Amino acid sequence: MTAQARGLHARVLDSLGPAITAGEYPPGSVLRTDELAQRFEVSRSVMREVVRVLESMHLVASRRRVGVTVRPTEEWNVYDPQVIRWRLAGADRPRQLRSLTVLRSAVEPVAAGLAARNATAEQCAALTECALGMVATSRGRQLEGYLVHDMAFHRIVLDASGNEMFARLGDVVAEVLAGRTHHDVMFEDPDPAAVTLHVRVAEAVREGDAARAEALTREIAEGALRELDILAPPPAPAS
Protein backbone atom coordinates (compact mmCIF):
# COMPACT_ATOMS: atom_id res chain seq x y z
CA MET A 1 0.00 0.00 0.00
CA THR A 2 2.56 2.59 1.09
CA ALA A 3 5.24 3.42 -1.47
CA GLN A 4 8.05 0.96 -1.21
CA ALA A 5 11.16 2.44 -2.82
CA ARG A 6 11.24 6.13 -1.96
CA GLY A 7 14.79 6.57 -0.85
CA LEU A 8 16.95 5.02 1.79
CA HIS A 9 16.27 7.83 4.18
CA ALA A 10 12.51 7.26 4.22
CA ARG A 11 12.88 3.53 4.55
CA VAL A 12 15.14 3.75 7.57
CA LEU A 13 12.84 6.36 9.11
CA ASP A 14 9.85 4.09 8.63
CA SER A 15 11.72 1.37 10.41
CA LEU A 16 13.23 3.29 13.29
CA GLY A 17 10.31 5.65 13.92
CA PRO A 18 7.73 2.97 14.65
CA ALA A 19 10.26 1.11 16.78
CA ILE A 20 10.68 4.15 18.99
CA THR A 21 7.00 5.06 19.24
CA ALA A 22 6.25 1.42 20.04
CA GLY A 23 8.53 1.70 23.04
CA GLU A 24 11.06 -0.73 21.65
CA TYR A 25 13.68 1.75 22.82
CA PRO A 26 12.26 3.02 26.13
CA PRO A 27 12.67 6.69 27.00
CA GLY A 28 16.15 7.37 28.23
CA SER A 29 17.68 4.74 25.96
CA VAL A 30 20.81 5.92 24.24
CA LEU A 31 21.54 5.13 20.62
CA ARG A 32 24.65 5.92 18.68
CA THR A 33 24.45 7.22 15.13
CA ASP A 34 27.33 5.07 13.89
CA GLU A 35 25.89 1.95 15.42
CA LEU A 36 22.48 2.62 13.89
CA ALA A 37 24.10 3.27 10.53
CA GLN A 38 25.72 -0.15 10.71
CA ARG A 39 22.57 -1.86 11.87
CA PHE A 40 20.52 -0.45 9.00
CA GLU A 41 23.40 -0.78 6.54
CA VAL A 42 23.38 2.83 5.45
CA SER A 43 25.99 5.55 5.52
CA ARG A 44 26.33 7.94 8.41
CA SER A 45 24.95 10.77 6.25
CA VAL A 46 21.67 9.00 5.78
CA MET A 47 21.42 8.04 9.42
CA ARG A 48 22.20 11.58 10.50
CA GLU A 49 19.32 12.87 8.40
CA VAL A 50 17.01 10.29 9.96
CA VAL A 51 18.09 11.30 13.44
CA ARG A 52 17.54 14.95 12.59
CA VAL A 53 13.97 14.25 11.54
CA LEU A 54 13.28 12.17 14.65
CA GLU A 55 14.73 15.03 16.62
CA SER A 56 12.38 17.51 14.95
CA MET A 57 9.52 15.27 16.07
CA HIS A 58 10.90 15.47 19.60
CA LEU A 59 11.15 11.69 19.70
CA VAL A 60 14.86 11.87 20.44
CA ALA A 61 17.45 14.39 21.53
CA SER A 62 20.97 14.34 20.17
CA ARG A 63 23.82 15.45 22.40
CA ARG A 64 27.53 15.44 21.86
CA ARG A 65 29.57 12.85 23.62
CA VAL A 66 26.35 11.23 24.85
CA GLY A 67 24.51 10.03 21.80
CA VAL A 68 20.92 10.02 20.66
CA THR A 69 18.58 9.80 23.64
CA VAL A 70 14.96 8.69 23.38
CA ARG A 71 12.74 11.34 24.94
CA PRO A 72 9.91 10.68 27.39
CA THR A 73 6.53 10.17 25.77
CA GLU A 74 5.09 13.43 27.10
CA GLU A 75 7.51 15.39 24.95
CA TRP A 76 6.73 13.74 21.63
CA ASN A 77 5.07 15.80 18.91
CA VAL A 78 1.93 13.72 19.04
CA TYR A 79 0.21 15.91 16.44
CA ASP A 80 2.73 14.99 13.75
CA PRO A 81 0.74 12.91 11.26
CA GLN A 82 3.70 10.59 10.84
CA VAL A 83 3.92 9.97 14.57
CA ILE A 84 0.16 9.42 14.71
CA ARG A 85 0.39 6.87 11.92
CA TRP A 86 3.28 5.06 13.61
CA ARG A 87 1.45 4.91 16.91
CA LEU A 88 -1.80 3.79 15.34
CA ALA A 89 0.10 0.96 13.70
CA GLY A 90 1.74 -0.07 16.95
CA ALA A 91 0.84 -1.66 20.24
CA ASP A 92 -0.82 1.22 22.04
CA ARG A 93 -3.24 1.71 19.20
CA PRO A 94 -6.25 1.60 21.56
CA ARG A 95 -4.89 4.36 23.79
CA GLN A 96 -4.10 6.46 20.76
CA LEU A 97 -7.53 5.88 19.26
CA ARG A 98 -9.13 6.98 22.48
CA SER A 99 -7.05 10.16 22.70
CA LEU A 100 -7.90 11.05 19.13
CA THR A 101 -11.59 10.35 19.57
CA VAL A 102 -11.72 12.61 22.60
CA LEU A 103 -9.96 15.27 20.56
CA ARG A 104 -12.53 14.82 17.82
CA SER A 105 -15.35 15.15 20.31
CA ALA A 106 -13.98 18.52 21.34
CA VAL A 107 -13.13 19.89 17.92
CA GLU A 108 -15.77 18.67 15.50
CA PRO A 109 -18.83 20.24 17.14
CA VAL A 110 -17.19 23.65 17.14
CA ALA A 111 -16.02 23.09 13.57
CA ALA A 112 -19.54 22.20 12.52
CA GLY A 113 -20.85 25.38 14.09
CA LEU A 114 -18.33 27.43 12.16
CA ALA A 115 -19.07 25.49 9.00
CA ALA A 116 -22.74 26.47 9.28
CA ARG A 117 -21.59 30.07 9.15
CA ASN A 118 -18.85 29.80 6.56
CA ALA A 119 -19.59 26.90 4.21
CA THR A 120 -19.81 27.73 0.52
CA ALA A 121 -22.64 26.47 -1.66
CA GLU A 122 -20.30 23.86 -3.13
CA GLN A 123 -19.35 22.60 0.31
CA CYS A 124 -23.01 22.39 1.32
CA ALA A 125 -23.77 20.39 -1.79
CA ALA A 126 -20.83 18.07 -1.23
CA LEU A 127 -21.86 17.61 2.38
CA THR A 128 -25.40 16.66 1.43
CA GLU A 129 -24.08 14.28 -1.17
CA CYS A 130 -21.90 12.58 1.41
CA ALA A 131 -24.78 12.27 3.83
CA LEU A 132 -26.92 10.70 1.12
CA GLY A 133 -24.09 8.38 0.25
CA MET A 134 -23.91 7.31 3.88
CA VAL A 135 -27.62 6.57 3.89
CA ALA A 136 -27.32 4.57 0.68
CA THR A 137 -24.51 2.40 2.07
CA SER A 138 -25.75 2.10 5.64
CA ARG A 139 -27.28 -1.33 5.16
CA GLY A 140 -26.11 -4.60 3.75
CA ARG A 141 -22.47 -4.71 4.82
CA GLN A 142 -21.32 -1.99 2.43
CA LEU A 143 -18.83 -0.90 5.05
CA GLU A 144 -16.11 0.27 2.70
CA GLY A 145 -18.48 2.48 0.73
CA TYR A 146 -19.91 3.87 3.94
CA LEU A 147 -16.43 4.62 5.25
CA VAL A 148 -15.53 6.63 2.15
CA HIS A 149 -18.55 8.87 2.55
CA ASP A 150 -18.09 9.15 6.30
CA MET A 151 -14.48 10.26 5.92
CA ALA A 152 -15.40 12.75 3.20
CA PHE A 153 -18.23 14.14 5.31
CA HIS A 154 -16.07 14.91 8.30
CA ARG A 155 -13.27 16.29 6.15
CA ILE A 156 -15.65 18.70 4.46
CA VAL A 157 -17.02 19.92 7.78
CA LEU A 158 -13.50 20.55 9.08
CA ASP A 159 -12.50 22.31 5.86
CA ALA A 160 -15.67 24.39 5.74
CA SER A 161 -15.06 25.66 9.26
CA GLY A 162 -12.57 28.04 7.71
CA ASN A 163 -10.09 27.36 10.49
CA GLU A 164 -6.82 25.93 9.26
CA MET A 165 -6.08 24.15 12.53
CA PHE A 166 -9.37 22.31 12.25
CA ALA A 167 -8.88 21.62 8.57
CA ARG A 168 -5.58 19.90 9.24
CA LEU A 169 -7.30 17.39 11.49
CA GLY A 170 -9.08 15.93 8.47
CA ASP A 171 -6.40 13.31 7.96
CA VAL A 172 -6.44 12.36 11.62
CA VAL A 173 -10.21 11.92 11.68
CA ALA A 174 -9.99 9.85 8.52
CA GLU A 175 -7.43 7.59 10.19
CA VAL A 176 -9.66 7.15 13.22
CA LEU A 177 -12.70 6.32 11.14
CA ALA A 178 -10.76 3.93 8.96
CA GLY A 179 -9.27 2.29 12.02
CA ARG A 180 -12.70 1.78 13.52
CA THR A 181 -14.01 0.10 10.40
CA HIS A 182 -10.97 -2.00 9.73
CA HIS A 183 -10.15 -3.18 13.23
CA ASP A 184 -13.06 -2.94 15.59
CA VAL A 185 -16.64 -3.13 14.39
CA MET A 186 -16.41 -4.23 10.80
CA PHE A 187 -18.89 -7.03 11.41
CA GLU A 188 -22.06 -4.97 11.78
CA ASP A 189 -23.77 -2.16 9.89
CA PRO A 190 -23.32 1.39 11.19
CA ASP A 191 -25.65 2.74 13.85
CA PRO A 192 -28.78 4.06 12.08
CA ALA A 193 -29.06 6.89 14.59
CA ALA A 194 -25.58 8.09 13.61
CA VAL A 195 -26.54 8.05 9.95
CA THR A 196 -29.59 10.19 10.63
CA LEU A 197 -27.51 12.61 12.66
CA HIS A 198 -25.13 13.10 9.75
CA VAL A 199 -28.04 13.92 7.45
CA ARG A 200 -29.35 16.43 9.93
CA VAL A 201 -25.94 18.04 10.36
CA ALA A 202 -25.79 18.53 6.61
CA GLU A 203 -29.22 20.16 6.78
CA ALA A 204 -28.26 22.43 9.63
CA VAL A 205 -25.07 23.54 7.88
CA ARG A 206 -26.99 24.19 4.67
CA GLU A 207 -29.50 26.30 6.57
CA GLY A 208 -26.75 28.17 8.38
CA ASP A 209 -28.01 27.04 11.78
CA ALA A 210 -24.76 27.05 13.73
CA ALA A 211 -26.19 26.10 17.10
CA ARG A 212 -28.01 23.10 15.72
CA ALA A 213 -25.07 21.94 13.63
CA GLU A 214 -22.91 22.10 16.73
CA ALA A 215 -25.39 20.28 18.95
CA LEU A 216 -26.00 17.53 16.42
CA THR A 217 -22.30 17.01 15.86
CA ARG A 218 -21.85 16.81 19.58
CA GLU A 219 -24.34 13.96 19.56
CA ILE A 220 -22.33 12.18 16.88
CA ALA A 221 -19.19 12.65 18.94
CA GLU A 222 -20.84 11.34 22.07
CA GLY A 223 -21.92 8.29 20.12
CA ALA A 224 -18.35 7.68 19.07
CA LEU A 225 -17.18 7.99 22.66
CA ARG A 226 -19.85 5.57 23.89
CA GLU A 227 -18.86 3.12 21.20
CA LEU A 228 -15.27 3.38 22.35
CA ASP A 229 -16.23 2.77 25.96
CA ILE A 230 -18.02 -0.39 24.96
CA LEU A 231 -15.17 -1.75 22.90
CA ALA A 232 -12.36 -0.72 25.23
CA PRO A 233 -13.34 0.53 28.69
CA PRO A 234 -11.46 3.61 29.92
CA PRO A 235 -8.42 3.11 32.18
CA ALA A 236 -10.03 4.19 35.49
CA PRO A 237 -13.75 3.46 35.89
CA ALA A 238 -15.48 5.78 38.36
CA SER A 239 -15.15 4.36 41.86
Partner DNA sequence: GTGGCGCAAAAGTCTGACTTTTTGAGCACA
Partner DNA sequence: TGTGCTCAAAAAGTCAGACTTTTGCGCCAC
Output phi, psi for 28, to 5 deg. 100, -20
DSSP-assigned letter for residue 239: -
Only segment of 43-51, 125-133, 141-149, 192-200 that touches a copy of itself (CB under 8 A): 43-51
Which H helix or E strand runs over 231?
helix 210-231
Tell me, what amino acid is at 182? H
Cβ proximity to DNA: between 58 and 117 the closer is: 58
Only segment of 19-27, 70-78, 150-158, 192-200 that touches a copy of itself (CB under 8 A): 70-78
User: What does the H/E/C string look like for 117-155?
Assistant: HHCCHHHHHHHHHHHHHHHHCCCCCCHHHHHHHHHHHHH
Residue 62 β-bridge partners: 68
Q: How far is the CB of 80 from DNA (least distance, A)?
A: 19
Only segment of 34-42, 129-137, 165-173, 197-205 that touches a copy of itself (CB under 8 A): 165-173
Q: How far is the CB of 225 from a copy of itself (least distance, A)?
A: 11
Q: Which of 42, 130, 157, 172 binds DNA (CB under 7 A)?
A: 42
Residue 112, binding choice from DNA, a copy of itself, none, Cβ under 5 to 8 Å by partner class:
none
Q: Which of 114, 115, 152, 202 binds a copy of itself (CB under 8 A)?
A: 114
DSSP-assigned letter for residue 191: P
